[in-house]
Structure 1
Amino acid sequence: MIGIMRNYTQLTEEERYQIYEGITLGLTQTEIADDLDVNKSTISRELKRNTGLRGYRPRQAQILSDSRKLNHSSQRINKQQWDRVEDLIGKDWSPEQTSSWLALNEDIKISHEWIYLHIYQDKKIGGDLHEHLRCQKKRRKR
């Protein structure tokens, strides 16, 4: 009987050694996943990301995982950058113009879609950024 899978958490170093042991014993990815009580796609993804020329090595996989965590930024766009976006939108620039100009001149990469989402979020909390958009389109309610 298959148990209920645990909520998503990142694999631990111990689990990576268990994956390695399962591989050396000739277990399938599904069997390894069942033993660890994770989804089989977790095992597949782990092996795809962390198998090198010498095969899957758990210590190396942990180092790679730790490296990815360190390089991940929790907040991609900071308050100062959003203030700059709001300043340009306040000057009646379109989100497309704002996005392009910031990328070329200030090395700030924010898509125009994110800027639109920011504007509509601002509108929800009573802000007036939406009044600077050229086209006042009605948005469908969800």
Structure 2
Amino acid sequence: MTYQQLTEGKRYQISILLAQGYRPAFIAKTINVHRSTVYRELDRNGSKGGYHPEPAQQKSQERRTLATKYKIPALTVEYVEFGLSLHWSPEQISGVGHLIDMPVSHEWIYRYIAANKAAGGVLYKALRQGHKRYRRGVNTKR
């Protein structure tokens, strides 16, 4: 079995199987996860009143969004915006960022630009336009 996070559906399955009196090891086999995953889920989100999947899912999403691996320092964000103002591509910004000890992935930069655009920002205008159409086969005067 490979590592995978519990989905909301699996949390509901855990809740139903627990209510029916099944043991965590049997539940793990039934929903095709490792038994330690079920035990960990019950330790984190179980209570004396039973296991409730809705708050467990909310807590999981909160933990995911607050994880330090998703936080980019403000100085790095400033560097990204500066690189965009110079019309560098996200790949260039990422490459130079790794050299100067400000690691940031080009994928994060694209997501940051998309979020900025959705919020009414103009960072997307700094991106290079790779979709330009050139005229082919047309004789031009020399």
Calculate the TM-score normalised by the size of structure 2.
0.49
TM-score (norm 1): 0.49
